[in-house]
Amino acid sequence: METVAVLDSGGQYCHLIARKVRELGAYAQIFPIGTPAGELAENSGIILSGGPSSVFDESSPQPDPELFEIGRPMLGICYGHQLIAGHLGGLVERGHTHEFGSANLSVRLDGGLFDGMDRDQQVWMSHGDHVAQLPHGFQVLGATSDCDVAAMGHPARGIYGLQFHPEVVHTPNGSEILRNFLVNACGCGLDWNPRGRVEDLIRQITSAVAGRRVLFFLSGGVDSTVAYALTVRALGTERVEGVYVDTGFMRDGETAEIEESFRVLDLGRLQVCDASGRFMSNLRDIVDPESKRAAIGQAFVDVQDEILAGEQYGGHDWMLGQGTIYPDTIESGGTQAADVIKTHHNRVERIQKLIEEGRVLEPLSEFYKDEVRELGRALGLSSALLERHPFPGPGLAIRCLCSGERADPIVDDGIAAIAREGGYRAFLLPIRSVGVQGDSRSYAQLTVLHSGDFAYERLLPLSTAITNEFRSTNRIVAALAPRAIAPTEWEIKPATLTHDRVRLLQQVDRAVTEYLRAEGLYDEIWQCPVVLLPLSRTGGEAVALRPVNSVDGMTAAVSTLPTAGLFELADRLHAIEGIDAVLFDVSNKPPSTIEWE
């Protein structure tokens, strides 16, 4: 079997590269960046991933110097591109201009990578440092207005470097570039099929569990349901049990829907545990997002411990089953050099301890969302379940933003000037959301754009331009209702999680879902988080719509919903008691994460 080694430099997209390679038909394996060269020599090709470090950092991740002597085709991406240049005698410099977002690539030479492609390409950049001088024998294959060596290559050696990210959806021809590397440089036949993994996973589950039983705490989402069904296939219903924990932060009517769906699946008994009181009590006074996630994770573990301590689960012959997938582990800093973007509830300290004790089963931890759906299809699960919009384990608790004190909007002259050029006015809100820029976590303020209209063709480029230039903001929203906002009339008010706020968010979330289904849009987008934030003019709140398209959650593009229906929806939401404003998130991932917290 042809294999490609992906060397992990700690980049958020490392496993996305591997998924893309597998999707193209070659089997990819992940290795730490410092893996000895001799262990990699049998691979058909080697890809060096991006990462959050600078090559100038003393502790920056480095490959084995012998890697460049084993004669394998090689592709460096972003930080990996700079590593290749530095190790082969080129020159890397710190950049004066940081590129975060879309850029136009001018192809100079195809060099095998751009074979059969147009000379002008849209690509996605996320970097500060850049290659200033080529290694001996290399050629410039492509450049952007801010990066003279955006692509380089030594075709005779089969070694290439790309400053941009071909693995993300924002590089439209990225898959074709990777395909050209796999075929033209590595000689891969592209005949690997991921559907063959089901039987391998069943064997792995059987071996890992041995004589024990497995208890899954289920959310009703795609990941935990597929993991549960896969484990039942491996062990049978008598050794696998599911518990659905109602945290009180689920969508309106969701508990009843989940009970019905599991009854139809006929995968054994589903126990429902109402823990809403405990979760609200644990979170009532918490404002900080990371503290909120930690408290949610701890509450899950406390409930799990109480259930496992019960008479039927006594002893240590049980394992905890989880639907953890790759993005969960990557964004929580789960690889050797990755930066923590946000802590997932299935990676809090207590869960980590159980993992160390060998008491956690995570059969999907090597897969992305699209691959999980493929596994579900192979298991015979229904399309209605598999195409359900993703929903975070912590539920609406992380879509209900909190604030510890009153604060006024801020007018930033620089951001305001760029906004005016695009036909909008702008101000900053002193409330922060999580983002990912340059493979690192950012926690920055929110920019609100407003005027008399709403035009995607101006808003989306404006969003990229602002987040590229100003690190003080990583998320841009546009006002839908009202469409023009006087900042002096608004404030961020103190707010924590309460039953009333959660019920208000549930009401708005249901209205948005009903609209998407009625308009035939639900299946056209990947998901549409609805976020409540304490932006107030008359004592109410603001709600932000976050429709995105994605494949696996590692990157995402704004879904451009039809504006006529969107305005009607905004007006309906604005009429709900307690809603002062309706906003629309016009930020891609990166620089923003899909969820705000």
Active site residue ranges: 78, 165, 167
Question: Taking the C-alpha atoms of 123, 129, 131 and 133 in order, what is their torsion angle to the nearest 10 degrees?
Answer: 150
Residue pair 7/36 in contact by the 8 Å Cβ criterion: no
Query: What residues contact residue 128 under an 8 Å CB cut-off, 6+ apart?
Result: 54, 94, 95, 98, 438
CB burial readout 30-49, b (16+ within 10 A) else e: bbebebebeebeebbbbbbb
Q: How far apart are CA 328 and CA 352, in angstroms?
A: 13
Tokens of 547: 């429709």
Tokens of 25: 């038909």
Q: How far apart are CA 411 and CA 430, in angstroms?
A: 11
**Quick one: DSSP state of residue 182?**
I
Q: How far apart are CA 320 and CA 5, in angstroms?
A: 31
CA 359 vs CA 238, 394, 450: distances in Å: 19, 22, 51
Query: What residues contact residue 57 under an 8 Å CB cut-off, 6+ apart?
Result: none
Phi-psi region of 99 (alpha: psi -120 to 50; beta: other; left: phi over 0): beta
Q: How far apart are CA 153 and CA 141, in angstroms?
A: 7
